[in-house]
Amino acid sequence: MGTQENVELIRRGYQAFDAGDMATLRELFAEDAVWHTAGNGVLSGAKQGREAIMAYFGELATRSKGSFKVTLQEVIGGEKHTIGLQHSHAETNGRTLDTQGALAFQVRDGKITEGREFFDDTAQGDAFWA
């Protein structure tokens, strides 16, 4: 796959995530994909495999009581890496998460094989998801 196909794949992923369409999102990930969650909090660290990644996404919804929203600002494509620039927002239990970030994706054979989160304030995320 080329740069444009990778960009479209990542856009479809963001659309599926935004719509809560976990079946579509699941299909975009390789079975052995890895997701690296930024920070030092309870949700931080590597998620090994598609099902662990889907469980992590479900945990974000559960812990935020469904308020977690990601707004895709731009996708920057490449042959091996594609970057999604985003804004994340959630409110629950008197806490607010409001942060800018970037997700770096590796794509192989039309599937996401790795996702790596980068946020402007990981301490804020750690505190919110606790």
Q: What is the CATH number of domain 3-129?
A: 3.10.450.50
Give the pLDDT of residue 48: 98
pLDDT of residue 80: 87
Domain map (residue ranges) of the chain: 3-129
Q: Exposure of 120 by Cβ count < 10 A (0-12 exposed, 13-18 middle, 19+ buried)?
A: exposed
User: How do the pLDDT tens digits run along the chain, 130 residues long?
Assistant: 689 999 999 999 999 999 999 999 999 999 999 999 999 999 999 999 999 999 999 999 999 999 999 999 999 999 889 999 999 999 999 999 999 999 999 999 999 999 999 999 999 999 999 9
All residues at 6 or more sequence positions from 84 whose CB lies less than 8 Å from its CB, including other chains: 10, 14, 72, 74, 75, 102, 103, 105
CB-hemisphere CA count at 13 Å for 59? Answer: 14
pTM of this structure: 0.94
End-to-end Cα, the chain, rounded Å: 39
Beta strands, E only, 16-108? 29-37, 45-48, 69-76, 81-92, 95-108
Hey, what amino acid is at 73? Q
CA distance 49 to 31: 6
